[in-house]
Chains A and B, each alone.
Chain A
Amino acid sequence: MRVITLNLKYDGSIPVEAETITPDSFSDKSKEEIEELSLYLGNKVVKLREIFDVSVEGSNTGIDDVKIIIKGNAYRIKRIGEGMTGGEILVEGNVDMRCGSMMRGGKITIKGNADSWTGQEMVGGEIIIEGDAGNYIGSGYRGALNGMSGGKITIKGNAGLYLGEKMNGGEIVVEKDADMLAGLEMSGGKITIKGNAIMPGGEMTGGDIIVMGTVIDRLPTFKYLGKEIIDNANFEKYVGDLAMRRAKGSLYIKAP
Chain B
Amino acid sequence: MKKKRVKLITGRTIEQGMFIEHKTSKEYFDATATCFMNERLIKELDIEDYVKVNTDIASIVLRAEREKGIPKDLIFIPMGPWANFILNIDIGLSGMPSFKGVDATIEPTDDRPLELKDLIGLYKG
Interface, chain A (partner B; CB < 8 A):
97, 115-117, 134-136, 160-162
What residues on A are CB-neighbors of B90 within 8 Å? 135, 161
5 interchain residue pairs of minimum CB distance: A116-B92, A135-B93, A134-B92, A135-B92, A115-B92
- Closest CB of chain A to B48's CB: distance in Å? 37
The residue of chain B having its C-beta at the shortest distance from the C-beta of A115 within the complex is B92
Q: State the B residues within 8 Å of A (CB).
A: 90-93
Closest residue to B93 on the A side, CB-wise? A135
Other 14 A-B pairs with CB < 8 A, given A116-B92, A117-B92, A161-B90: A97-B92, A115-B92, A116-B91, A116-B93, A134-B92, A135-B90, A135-B92, A135-B93, A136-B92, A136-B93, A160-B92, A160-B93, A161-B93, A162-B93
What residues of chain B lie closer than 8 Å to A161, measured between beta carbons? 90, 93
Q: Say how far A64's CB is from chain B's closest CB, in angstroms.
A: 32
Interface of B is mostly: loop
State how many angstroms separate the Cβ of A165 from the closest Cβ of chain B.
11
15 contacts between A and B (CB under 8 A): A97-B92, A115-B92, A116-B91, A116-B92, A116-B93, A117-B92, A135-B90, A135-B92, A135-B93, A136-B92, A136-B93, A160-B92, A160-B93, A161-B93, A162-B93
* In the complex, chain A residues whose CB is within 8 Å of the CB of B91: 116
Complex Cα–Cα for A115 and B91 (A): 10
Residue of B nearest to A97 (CB): B92
Cα of A116 to Cα of B92 in the assembled complex, Å: 6
Q: How far is the CA of A193 from the CA of B93 in the complex (A)?
A: 20
A115 partner residues in chain B, CB cutoff 8 A:
92
* Chain B: minimal CB distance from A101 (Å): 13
When distances are taken between beta carbons in the complex, the residues of chain B under 8 Å from A116 are 91-93
Residues of chain B within 8 A of A97, CB atoms compared: 92
CB-CB nearest in chain A for B92: A116
In the assembled complex, how far is the CB of residue A194 from the closest CB belonging to chain B, in whole angstroms?
23
CB nearest neighbor in B for A134:
B92
Task: Determine the residue in chain B with the shortest Cβ distance to A162.
Answer: B93
Q: Quote the shortest CB–CB distance from A97 to chain B (angstroms).
A: 6
* Bound-complex Cα distance A97 to B93 (A): 11
* Chain A nearest CB, measured from B95 CB (Å): 11
- Min CB gap B98→A, angstroms: 12
Q: Give bound CA distance, A161 to B98, whole Å.
A: 14
CA distance A134 to B93 in the complex (A): 9
Give bound CA distance, A101 to B21, whole Å: 44
C-alpha gap A161/B93 in the complex (Å): 8
Q: In the assembled complex, how far is the CB of residue A243 from the closest CB belonging to chain B, in whole angstroms? A: 21
Query: Which chain B positions have C-beta within 8 A of A160?
Result: 92-93
Q: How far is the CB of A109 from chain B (nearest CB, A)?
A: 21
Nearest CB in chain B: distance from A143 CB, A: 14
CA distance in complex: A139, B93 (Å): 12
Contacts of A136 in B (CB 8 A): 92-93
